[in-house]
Structure 1
Amino acid sequence: MRTFASNIFTAGSPTAGDVYLGAPITANRPGDFGPLLVKVDNKLQAWKRTYLSQAGKVVLLKSVIEPMLMYTMSTTAIPNSVIKKIEAKTREFFWNNGNDRRMPLVAWKEITKPKSQGGLGLKNLLDFNNSLQMKALWAIAAKEQALWITVVTAKYLSRANLWVSARTTRCTAMWRSILEVRTIIKPHIRWQIGDGLTCNAKGDPWHNMWEAFQPANASERRVKVSDLTGNPNSPWDTPKLIELLGFHGALFISLTFPDGPSSSSHPDRLILTCTKNGKFSLKAAYRMSQNFRGVNRPLPQHMEALYNRIWHSSGIIPKARFFLWKTVRHALPTDYTIATRIGRQLQGCSICGHRREDDTHVLFKCPKARQTWLSSSLGLRTENLPDEVPAILATISPNLSEELFSVMAMVSWSYWKLRCKQIFEGKDFGAAQVLKLTEGYARNMRQANLIYAVPRMVPRATSERPPASFYCFSDGSWVDDNQDGSGWAYVIFDDNQVLCQFGMQYGRSSSPFHSELLGLYCAFRTVKSLGIDSCCFLTDCQHLYRVMSGLEMIDSVHWGAFYEAIDLKCLFDASEGFYCKHVCRVNNCLADSLANYARLRKVVSTGYTFPTVPHL
Structure 2
Amino acid sequence: MAQEREEIKGVKLATNCPILTHVVYADDLILLGHAEDGEVQQLCDIMEEFGAVSGLAINPTKSKLWFLEPCEEQLVWTIQNKLRADEARDEERYLGAILSKSNTAKKTGMMLLDKIKSKLTGWRSNMLSHAGRLVLIKSVLMSVPVYYMSVEMIPKGIIRQMESQIAKFFWGKTDKDRYMSFISWKRICQPVDRGGLGVRKLSTFGEALLLKLVWDMASEEDKIWVQVCRSKYYSILGFWRAVNVGGTSNIWKQEVKLRHTFKENVMWQVAKGDKIPALSQPWFPEWRVAQQASRNDRKITVSDLFDFDTNQWNLQEMRRLLGDETARQIDSLIQKLRSIPSMTDRLVWSHTKSGSYTVKDGYDYLIQNREIQGQEVQWKYIWKWKNVSPKIKVFMWRLLSDGLPLAQNLHNRIQSISPMCVRCNQENEYATHCFFFCQGSRMVWFAGSLGISTDSLPLNVCEALHMITQQMNEENIRIFCLTLWEIWLARNDLVFQHRRFDPIAICKKVQAMGHAIEGARGENLELHQLVERVPYELSVDEWQVLVDASWDTSQRAGSACVIYHEGVLVRILMQRHEAPDSFYAETLALQEAIQWVEEFFQAREGQKVKLFSDCLNLTTAIHEGDLTSIPSWRAAPLIARMLEQIENWGGKVSLQHVRREAVNPAHVLANEARRKNVTYNGIATAAIMCENRIGMALDRRFFQQVEEAPP
TM-score calculated relative to the size of structure 1? 0.76
The structure with more radius of gyration? 2
Deviation of the 1:62 alpha carbon: 0.6
Deviation of the 1:207 alpha carbon: 2.0
Alignment of 1:149-228 (within 5 A): 149-211=226-288, 212-213=290-291, 220-221=298-299, 224-228=301-305
State the match for 1:273 in structure 2: 350
User: C-alpha offsets along residues 570-600 of structure 1, whole Å, 9 cap, x if unaligned?
Assistant: 969x9698234734278799994389xxxxx
State the match for 1:381 in structure 2: 453
**2-side partners of 1:127 and 1:362: how far apart?**
37
Q: Which amino acid aligns with 1:125?
A: L
User: C-alpha offsets along residues 155-178 of structure 1, whole Å, 9 cap, x if unaligned?
Assistant: 112012322322223221211222
Alignment of 1:240-251 (within 5 A): 241=317, 246-249=320-323
Asked if the contact 2:163/2:202 (under 8 Å) is kept, the reply is yes
Q: Which amino acid aligns with 1:425?
A: Q
State the match for 1:358 in structure 2: 430
The yes-or-no answer on 1:30 pairing with 2:106 is yes
Secondary structure of the corresponding residue to residue 357 of structure 1: coil
Alignment of 1:4-403 (within 5 A): 17-25=91-99, 27=103, 29-48=105-124, 51-99=127-175, 102-211=179-288, 212-213=290-291, 220-221=298-299, 224-236=301-313, 241=317, 246-249=320-323, 252-253=326-327, 256-258=330-332, 260=334, 262-265=338-341, 266-292=343-369, 294-297=370-373, 299-300=375-376, 303-304=377-378, 307-346=379-418, 348-403=420-475
Asked if the contact 2:548/2:586 (under 8 Å) is kept, the reply is no
User: C-alpha offsets along residues 251-277 of structure 1, whole Å, 9 cap, x if unaligned?
Assistant: 844751346452321111222223344
**Structure 1 509/521 Cα, relative in aligned 2: closer, same or farther at 3 Å?**
farther
Secondary structure of the corresponding residue to residue 350 of structure 1: coil
The yes-or-no answer on 1:578 pairing with 2:578 is no
Asked if the contact 2:271/2:334 (under 8 Å) is kept, the reply is no
Deviation of the 1:287 alpha carbon: 3.2
User: C-alpha offsets along residues 328-354 of structure 1, whole Å, 9 cap, x if unaligned?
Assistant: 122222222222212214163333333
State the match for 2:619 in structure 1: 548
Q: Which amino acid aligns with 2:151?
A: T
**Structure 1 76/230 Cα, relative in aligned 2: closer, same or farther at 3 Å?**
same
**1-side partners of 2:654 and 2:407: how far apart?**
72
Asked if the contact 1:320/1:410 (under 8 Å) is kept, the reply is yes
**2-side partners of 1:164 and 1:213: how far apart?**
12
Higher helix share: 1
User: C-alpha offsets along residues 479-538 of structure 1, whole Å, 9 cap, x if unaligned?
Assistant: xxxxxxxxx9999875386989x99xxxx9997655434334445667899775742226
Deviation of the 1:355 alpha carbon: 4.9
Asked if the contact 1:190/1:272 (under 8 Å) is kept, the reply is yes
**2-side partners of 1:475 and 1:153: how far apart?**
46
Q: Which amino acid aligns with 1:495?
A: E
**2-side partners of 1:124 and 1:178: how far apart?**
19
Asked if the contact 1:513/1:558 (under 8 Å) is kept, the reply is no
Deviation of the 1:97 alpha carbon: 4.0
**2-side partners of 1:154 and 1:225: how far apart?**
25
Secondary structure of the corresponding residue to residue 271 of structure 1: strand
Asked if the contact 2:611/2:654 (under 8 Å) is kept, the reply is yes
Q: Which amino acid aligns with 1:518?
A: Q
**1-side partners of 2:170 and 2:570: how far apart?**
68
**Structure 1 254/151 Cα, relative in aligned 2: closer, same or farther at 3 Å?**
farther
**2-side partners of 1:236 and 1:334: how far apart?**
68
**Structure 1 246/15 Cα, relative in aligned 2: closer, same or farther at 3 Å?**
farther
State the match for 1:420 in structure 2: 492
State the match for 1:485 in structure 2: none
**Structure 1 267/377 Cα, relative in aligned 2: closer, same or farther at 3 Å?**
same
State the match for 2:48 in structure 1: none
Q: Which amino acid aligns with 2:158?
A: V
**2-side partners of 1:406 and 1:422: how far apart?**
25
**Structure 1 577/386 Cα, relative in aligned 2: closer, same or farther at 3 Å?**
closer
Q: Which amino acid aligns with 2:153?
A: A
Deviation of the 1:234 alpha carbon: 4.2
User: C-alpha offsets along residues 192-218 of structure 1, whole Å, 9 cap, x if unaligned?
Assistant: 11122432333221124544448979x
- Of the structure 1 ranges 77-86 and 433-442, higher mean CA displacement relative to structure 2 is found in 433-442
Match of 2:503 among 406, 431, 447: 431
Unaligned runs of 5+ residues in structure 1 are 451-461, 477-487, 596-606, 610-616
Deviation of the 1:190 alpha carbon: 0.5
State the match for 1:458 in structure 2: none
**1-side partners of 2:118 and 2:124: how far apart?**
10
Secondary structure of the corresponding residue to residue 109 of structure 2: helix
Secondary structure of the corresponding residue to residue 584 of structure 1: helix
**Structure 1 191/333 Cα, relative in aligned 2: closer, same or farther at 3 Å?**
same
Secondary structure of the corresponding residue to residue 181 of structure 1: helix
Asked if the contact 2:153/2:251 (under 8 Å) is kept, the reply is yes
Alignment of 1:459-478 (within 5 A): 464-472=537-545
Deviation of the 1:561 alpha carbon: 1.9
Secondary structure of the corresponding residue to residue 110 of structure 2: helix
User: C-alpha offsets along residues 13-43 of structure 1, whole Å, 9 cap, x if unaligned?
Assistant: 7997443212335655434422111111111
Q: Which amino acid aligns with 1:91?
A: A
Question: Across the two proteins, how many residue pairs are aligned to each other?
Answer: 554
Asked if the contact 1:517/1:565 (under 8 Å) is kept, the reply is no
**Structure 1 276/347 Cα, relative in aligned 2: closer, same or farther at 3 Å?**
closer
Unaligned runs of 5+ residues in structure 2 are 1-20, 31-66, 70-87, 521-534, 550-558, 657-661, 684-708
- Over the matched positions of the two proteins, sequence identity in percent amounts to 23
**1-side partners of 2:538 and 2:312: how far apart?**
43
**1-side partners of 2:139 and 2:622: how far apart?**
32
Asked if the contact 2:411/2:418 (under 8 Å) is kept, the reply is yes
State the match for 2:528 in structure 1: none
Asked if the contact 2:388/2:478 (under 8 Å) is kept, the reply is yes
Asked if the contact 1:475/1:591 (under 8 Å) is kept, the reply is no
**1-side partners of 2:125 and 2:475: how far apart?**
37
Deviation of the 1:414 alpha carbon: 1.4
**Structure 1 16/88 Cα, relative in aligned 2: closer, same or farther at 3 Å?**
farther
**1-side partners of 2:256 and 2:387: how far apart?**
48
**Structure 1 15/103 Cα, relative in aligned 2: closer, same or farther at 3 Å?**
same
Match of 2:566 among 495, 509, 524: 495
Asked if the contact 1:489/1:592 (under 8 Å) is kept, the reply is no
